[in-house]
């Protein structure tokens, strides 16, 4: 007790107060200098908030009515695709000189999160475009490539990112697809698997090894247009979830590609991937957060209406505790995701934080869908209610853009490096 009195005497308290004020002043000064938003990280700028509200409305009005129809058809409705382009959602961060909105990365994250609340499968379309293809072309493309493709990507052209192969999933750079020099051109041979949006895409960013003797240093990124001779797009896979988002295998049989189709230069494919895949993981985290929130929002009202033993299911303390726990986990996943976003926007390292966000958001989303079906009772096990779709859609979150174990490996490696230094 005497120690506590001494610790909290007036002099100590005054010193502590001065220290807090000094720290606050320095923090505010650094935030102003860096241009970062003030805490909390969930605060959105006026433009970001407008994007969030607009996409939420569009998703409710122009996607929600067709969710089951698109899933049954196994493809996106053309009116939904047109809506994404017409409202600038396929070129969110692209420079306005190329027809994009020139918005922040956080704005693009809002697009993914809000669409995923209604249908995570639809979110795959703007996700690939905004987090991978557009920034790769804008960052590594020549002036001619930018002028040719970016305006189309913002207006009408769908794209795909072709990296994975049957023998190179988590070990992405063990690819077998080759690009052999032939005069001024390259001949591509090989195949790709699990290529999102391939059923609709007009251009593909294809990774192939131009010099296998160099290992990953030979990997090169090519822009290949649909319809190129020898380039075959196979029928969409029959999947557990995300059924309306086309995922196809690709084959390359002596596909002739000019040197002008190379992005960044020969052998720079590895650098391109490493610079963008971490950003892509944040987008998947946003997709999982949106999915979890959408499932939660569709379920909690039912627990307030459904009665057992003469009382709403929600009124039972055991239910309240479960719901409160899931709500907390969803918010934690969102905070991890938004923190990774702001780190990326500020130009700071975000490798560990992106992996944490992707890993945790996918885990939380799975747990959320399981609990929501539990809370629904027997009807949650039927296709008459949307919870079972969220339950099927969520599983891929622990697989694509890096499995759970890959994320944990990345996190552990970063921790090891931190403690070694």
Average pLDDT of span 288-294: 98
- Evaluate if residue 376 carries a pLDDT over 50: yes
What is the average per-residue pLDDT within 81-105? 97
Q: Has residue 17 got a pLDDT over 70? A: no
Residue-level pLDDT at 36: 53
Beta-strand relationship, 159-162 and 203-209: parallel
Share of the chain above pLDDT 90, in %: 85
| Confidence grade of residue 303 (pLDDT, cut at 50, 70, 90) | very high
**Other CB atoms within 10 A of residue 140 CB:** 21
Contacts of 410 (CB under 8 A, 6+ apart): 351, 352, 355, 402
Length of the chain: 421
Average pLDDT for 227-244: 97
- The residue annotated as part of the active site, out of 53, 388, 401, 416, is 401
pLDDT at 191 over 50: yes
Contact 186, 257 (CB under 8 A): yes
Query: Does pLDDT of 16 surpass 50?
Result: no
Element (H, E) at 249: strand 247-258
Tell me the torsion sign for CA atoms 102, 105, 107, 111.
positive
pLDDT of residue 38: 60
| pLDDT confidence band for 34 (50 / 70 / 90) | low
pLDDT tens digit sequence for 306-362 = 999 999 999 999 999 999 999 999 999 999 999 999 999 999 999 999 999 999 999
Task: Please give the residue that has the higher pLDDT: either 387 or 38.
Answer: 387
CA distance 189 to 166: 14
What is the per-residue pLDDT for 125? 97
Q: Show the tokens assigned to 149.
A: 């493709």
- Measured CA to CA in angstroms, residue 123 lies from 39, 55, 106, 272 at distances of 28, 11, 15, 23
Residue 328, both tokens: 């907390």
Strands 247-258 and 185-196: antiparallel
pLDDT greater than 80 at residue 152: yes
* Mean of the per-residue pLDDT values of the chain: 91
pLDDT for res 39: 67
The DSSP code for 385 is S
The full DSSP string for 98-163 is GT-----HHHHHHHHHHHHHH-HHHHHHHHHIIIIIHHHHHHH--HHHHHHHHHHHHHT--EEEE-
Using only C-alpha atoms, the chain has a radius of gyration, in whole angstroms, of: 24
Q: Please tell me the chain's helix, strand, coil percentages from 3-state DSSP, rounded to the nearest 5.
A: 60, 15, 25
Query: Is the Cβ–Cβ distance between 207 and 273 less than 8 Å?
Result: yes
242-288 pLDDT per residue, tens: 999 999 999 999 999 999 999 999 999 999 988 888 899 999 999 99
User: Is 399 exposed, middle or buried (CB count within 10 Å of its CB: 0-12, 13-18, 19+)?
Assistant: middle
Q: Looking at residue 348, what is its pLDDT? A: 94
| pTM confidence score | 0.89
Residue 9 or residue 373, greater confidence: 373
pLDDT for position 35: 56
State residue 66's pLDDT score: 98
Selected residue with higher pLDDT from 212 and 18: 212
Specify the pLDDT at position 5. Answer: 37
Q: Is 279 a catalytic site residue?
A: no
Q: CA–CA separation, 250 vs 32, rounded Å?
A: 48
């Amino acid at each position: 007790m005497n120690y506590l009195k001494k610790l909290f005497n007036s002099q100590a308290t005054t010193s502590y107060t001065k220290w807090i004020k000094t720290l606050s002043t320095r923090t505010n000064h650094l935030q102003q200098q860096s241009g970062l938003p003030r805490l909390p990280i969930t605060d959105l700028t006026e433009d970001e908030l407008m994007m969030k509200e607009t996409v939420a409305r569009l998703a409710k009005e122009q996607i929600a009515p067709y969710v089951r129809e698109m899933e049954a058809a196994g493809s996106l409705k053309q009116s939904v695709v047109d809506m994404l382009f017409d409202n600038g959602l396929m070129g969110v961060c692209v420079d306005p000189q190329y027809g994009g909105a020139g918005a922040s990365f956080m704005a693009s994250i809002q697009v993914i999160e809000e669409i995923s609340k209604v249908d995570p499968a639809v979110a795959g379309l703007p996700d690939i475009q905004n987090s991978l293809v557009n920034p790769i072309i804008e960052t590594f493309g020549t002036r001619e490539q930018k002028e040719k493709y970016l305006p189309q990507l913002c207006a009408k052209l769908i794209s795909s990112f072709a990296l994975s192969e049957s023998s190179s999933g988590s070990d992405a750079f063990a690819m077998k697809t080759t690009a052999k020099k032939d005069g001024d051109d390259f001949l591509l041979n090989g195949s790709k698997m699990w290529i999102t949006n391939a059923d609709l895409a007009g251009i593909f960013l294809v990774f192939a090894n131009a010099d296998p003797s160099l290992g990953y240093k030979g990997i090169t990124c090519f822009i290949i247009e649909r319809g190129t001779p020898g380039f075959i797009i196979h029928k969409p896979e029959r999947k557990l979830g995300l059924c309306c988002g086309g995922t196809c295998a690709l084959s390359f049989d002596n596909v002739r590609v000019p040197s002008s189709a190379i992005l960044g230069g020969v052998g720079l494919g590895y650098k391109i991937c490493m610079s963008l895949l971490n950003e892509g993981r944040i987008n998947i985290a946003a997709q999982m957060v949106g999915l979890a929130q959408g499932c939660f929002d569709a379920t909690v009202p039912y627990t307030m209406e459904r009665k057992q033993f003469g009382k709403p299911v929600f009124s039972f303390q055991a239910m309240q505790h479960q719901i409160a726990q899931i709500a907390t986990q969803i918010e934690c996943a969102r905070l991890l995701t938004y923190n990774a976003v702001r780190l990326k926007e500020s130009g700071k390292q975000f490798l560990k934080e992106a992996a944490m966000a992707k890993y945790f958001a996918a885990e939380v989303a799975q747990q959320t869908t399981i609990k929501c079906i539990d809370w629904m009772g027997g009807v949650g096990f039927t296709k008459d209610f949307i919870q079972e779709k969220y339950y099927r859609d969520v599983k891929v979150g622990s697989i694509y853009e890096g499995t759970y174990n890959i994320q944990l490996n990345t996190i552990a490696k970063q921790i090891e490096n931190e403690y070694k230094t």
